[in-house]
A and B are shown apart, each in its own frame.
Chain A
Amino acid sequence: MEPSRRRFLSTGALFGVAATLTWQLWGRRPLQADPRHAPQGLAPAGYATLVAAFDILLDSPRAGARAAKELDAFLATDGADQVAELSLALTLLEMAPGGLLDVRRFSALPRDEARDLLESWATSPVGVRRQIHSALRKAARFIWFDRPEAWGDLGYDGPWVK
């Protein structure tokens, strides 16, 4: 190959990679999930993903936001160790819908699509995906059903010690 042609192709390839990276980084820039709540444990991007996932796992945007807020507050006071692991898990989930040139994010998907994606992780052949689904599901449900307001529907009469 002629040197000038080789240089042209390699410059072009470099440009392509740089453009894709920029596109990916821009596309995945942090979302501010809820302007009324600045997360304390998680970074804003991770928090946005958490709210979206909890919304689906609890089948209610209001419940999702509230449970996410509680988990974030717990992480801020007690869970420094767990923040890094959870953040990584949330990043994987957030980036799951897209491909190389596709910058769709989990937290910005239409609800049905997000639900299908998250539910597919429950039975995924990829172990890490099952692990993330299971951890998020358990956390969301544990937090939600630990609230006295949720007990009425179950007929649970609550603690004996007051």
Chain B
Amino acid sequence: METVTVQDVIVGSGAGGGVLAARLAEAGRSVCVVEEGPRVSKADFNQREGAMYNLLFRDAGNQLTKDGGISVLQGRCLGGSTTVNQGDCVPMEAAVLQHWRQHFGWGDWGGISDGDVQAAAERALAEMGAGPIAPEELNRNNRLMAEGAAKLGLKGGPLAHNRVGCVGSGYCMIGCAYDAKRGTLVAHLPRAEAAGARLWCSKRVDRVLLDGHRAVGVAGEGFEVRGERVFLAAGPIHTPGILQRSAVRPRALGRNLTLQPQAPIVARFADVVDFHRGIPQAWGLHSSLEVTAERGLGGFTLEPIAAGPAMTASLVPLPMPALRPLLAQYRHLAAALCLVPDRPQGRVIWGKGKRPKIDYRPSAEHHSTMIEAMKTAARIYLAAGALEVRVPAVGVPLVTSERDLSHLDRLPSRANDLPMISAHPQGTCRMGPGEDCVVGLDFRVRGFDNLYVADASLFPTSSSTHTMVPVMAMVHLLADGLGT
């Protein structure tokens, strides 16, 4: 049994764990980050889809909901999901926080003001060198959507991102080989290590070691890390598993999962688009989002994406003879994700095995908003001059003119009819004052003095269309509260 003893044990090195490691180590604490995935660096990122999904993603990108309908993407490597994400930086809107204050008992949140939350988000942005994407940096895929939206009078704009020195290769989702994308792998973990933190990779934490109401460390196969405080930042699918295996099982554990399911839409243009090159997800549609203190985050957004040949071919459900001519037009394709925020409705259930059951079905409301999102995307592409727009769902005919938009009303709602992904799982260890919460407003697991949760599982509802900065901001607030 290999045993390490430190002051602070952090499980997971993603948006939550990575930021916390830098904060605590730089404050002079001895820190060990225990990460299930491998230690990776830019030298490992060979820009090959198969190899990189295997190396960097949970279950090689095949972590699915129970019915197989949604692929829940998460990084499983040093840097967690920030190593494989698209680098978009979208802080939480004030109205979302109001929603939690008014409807989820956050009230004055122990004195944490809206200004504090904003300052924490700004700190997160500054640490990553984040800033707006310049209009001239938009690739053709993003520009087409921007132009089409402008013609229809719809509002959108370039997003902010955490890239510095980007060469526009387009491979952000399988690791940036240039260290241009500044997730925790680049922006925080080297700082933590320089301040003395140990980054222990390829170590899966099985459970928290408990002594009454205190955590005394964590354990996995053949190792233990003992410490004065334990912080769980394994993400919203796996943090509840660690608690469950540690026999810490509040009633709400694993519940209130939101997935923000997204679905792709593809357009074909007469001239070359090369959607796989340049900065993906650089522009977003804003006018369709609804953010209110009453309902929180709602509506939808559209963002152009990149996909390599393997991902593109695997997502389009055409028989091969029909797929071949479409793939021959690969360089003429444009593609976007329709992202529809949802309400907390799913559940992560951990049994004895190493993989959870993710029990989630999109609601009827989600489905009708998805249809609206797809119609808007199709109208935008047509306005931008697309020859045809395709929803990659079985049985939905092509859209070649406004007249055909009604085809999209036939969007099937059954699992596996339309390929859906989730890149923003949240919830499952809800933070709040009530019995229906897993974590108190001070980030401590209910009933424990020194066991904390520091990841996207804290959010009571969907925090933002992009969850990295909200997670980082939360963790800065946690670190502030600990006096570091």
Contact = CB atoms under 8 A, between A and B. Distances in A.
Interface of A: 57-60, 74, 78-79, 81-82, 119, 122-123, 127, 130-131, 133-135, 137-139, 141-146, 150-151, 153-156, 159-161
Chain A to chain B: the 4 pairs with minimum beta-carbon distance, closest first = A159-B47, A59-B320, A131-B68, A154-B330
B1 interface: no
22 contacts: A60-B320, A74-B54, A82-B59, A122-B317, A122-B394, A127-B67, A127-B415, A130-B414, A130-B416, A130-B417, A134-B416, A138-B419, A141-B323, A142-B314, A145-B309, A146-B48, A146-B50, A146-B309, A155-B330, A155-B331, A156-B309, A156-B331
Contacts of B330: 154-156
B328 A153 contact: yes
Contacts of B415: 127, 130-131
Contacts of A133: 416
B270 interface: no
Contacts of A151: 309
Contacts of A137: 314, 317
* Size class of the B contact interface (CB-based, 8 Å): 35 or more
Contacts of A145: 309-310, 312-314, 327
Interface in B312-326: 312-315, 317, 319-321, 323-324
Given A122-B317, A127-B415, A141-B310, A154 B50 contact: no
Contacts of A122: 317, 394
A127 B311 CA distance: 23
B48 A159 contact: yes
Contacts of B394: 122-123
Given A123-B395, A155-B330, A138 B54 contact: no
Given A141-B313, A141-B314, A144-B310, 15 more contacts: A59-B319, A81-B59, A81-B354, A130-B68, A131-B415, A134-B317, A142-B49, A145-B309, A153-B328, A154-B309, A156-B308, A156-B330, A159-B46, A160-B47, A160-B167
Interface in B42-91: 45-50, 54, 59-60, 62, 67-69
A159 B46 CA distance: 7
A78 B327 contact: no
A160 B309 contact: no
Interface in B134-167: 167
B398 interface: no
Contact of A81 (B169, B327, B355): B355
Contact of B319 (A60, A119, A139, A144): A119
B205 to A, nearest CB: 18
B45 A161 contact: yes
Nearest to A118: B319
A142 B314 CA distance: 5
B329 to A, nearest CB: 9
Nearest to A77: B54
